[in-house]
Amino acid sequence: MLDSIRAVAVSHRDAATPVVSAFYDRFPYPGDPLQDGPPPGYNWRWCVDSAWAFATGALPPAPAGQPRRWRILDAGCGTGVSTDYLCHLNPGSEVLAVDISPGALALAQERSRRSGAAQQVTQLRIDQRSLLDLEEEGSFDYINSVGVLHHLDQPQAGLRALAERLRPGGVLHLFLYADGGRWEIHRTQRSLTRLGISGDADGLRLGRQLFRDLPPENRLRRHHEQRWALDTSADANFADMYLHPQETSYNLERLLAFVASAGLTFAGFSNPEVWDPARLLRGDLLERALSLGEREQWALVEDLDPDISHFEFFLVKGPIQRPDWQNDATLLAARGERNRCLWGWPGTGLFGPDLVPLTLEAEDLDLMQAWERAPGARLADLAVPLDADARCRIARRLLALRVLLPVA
């Protein structure tokens, strides 16, 4: 069921709210086109089963024969791209999507209507409200807030408000700007501000003109053309990047302090491959890098890769006690489910959670299909002709590929 947009008095507790709302009315973001039917592909970060297992190490048990029915908040949904995925990837759940811009929300409602999102969930509400004013909504299992808090005048207040809405053990997915990869963007923003160019239709015209007028060898122009021209082809996306009236960005040290200020536990980057030193180093240098602690490895990657333009990560309310899946007894006692964010199932040639090709062995497929025939069974009890060592070996490979989601 899709409720019509409910206009609730939008809080001005954050000083940036009125100007940011007006900006997004002019440039509803993100500028993804509307289409009929489900959204293309998938994003495993918005499939709560997949995100939850990644962040906490295991899923809670589901009702027998039923999908988990999560209570989900999309905090700062914009034109509803994320809301659409959250509905289609979490059937039977309850979804509340909020944003301060009525212009963006009108598109979110139309997107959801055309995609059939409301038919996938028990309830979908799309409300014009601030994420700072959701006290009466109670708690949520999963909160998605992508590209939102860095546009508040007081991001710390926004994070605390989301933390208050997260149930104990719940998972929060955030996306915030990173200083390093926005060096050229920040200089462009400051230049446009000095020229008196603001976030309106004329500002959009002049902003695009700037990149045409700068010399071809100019670093700002080259950076825009080589990295961002395609992403900002939609006017709303160009305006969001270069003309936004309120923006904050972070380095790793400030980011982790920001998280700690709300009493939340950092559960890992949702793009972990970016933070793997093996992406950048080889041989002796990689060996030295891997001898560092986890946070020192992240700091090293941050220093070595100045193109990192954002942080995307999971937070958990409360301590995280991940099961030790390297322990055979623990693994054999576990239950498991197939990650629904796969393309090509059943088969040995798949696209994995990040839409990257992966190949399964025949024994991998046999084990997963045995689990699908016996949902809720322990690994030790699956009807497959394998001894305990083989079961653990295959299960660990499937965990590494994120085909298998463990259930504690």
What are 19-48's pLDDT values in tens digits?
999 999 999 999 999 999 999 889 999 999
The angle at the Cα of 299, spanning 293 to 304, to the nearest 5 degrees, equals 125
Residue 69's pLDDT band (boundaries 50, 70, 90)? very high
Q: Are strands 335-338 and 310-316 parallel, antiparallel or unpaired?
A: unpaired
Contacts of 110 (CB under 8 A, 6+ apart): 34
* CATH superfamily, with its number, for domain 6-179+249-316: Vaccinia Virus protein VP39 (3.40.50.150)
Q: What value does the mean pLDDT take over residues 51-64?
A: 92
The angle at the Cα of 223, spanning 221 to 224, to the nearest 5 degrees, equals 65
Residue 373's pLDDT band (boundaries 50, 70, 90)? very high
pTM of the model: 0.94
CA 80 vs CA 61, 84, 292, 380: distances in Å: 30, 6, 41, 43
Q: Which of 38-47, 156-165, 167-176 has the lowest mean pLDDT?
A: 38-47
Residue 4's pLDDT band (boundaries 50, 70, 90)? low
pLDDT > 70? residue 65: no
161 φ/ψ angles, rounded to the nearest 5 degrees: -65, -40
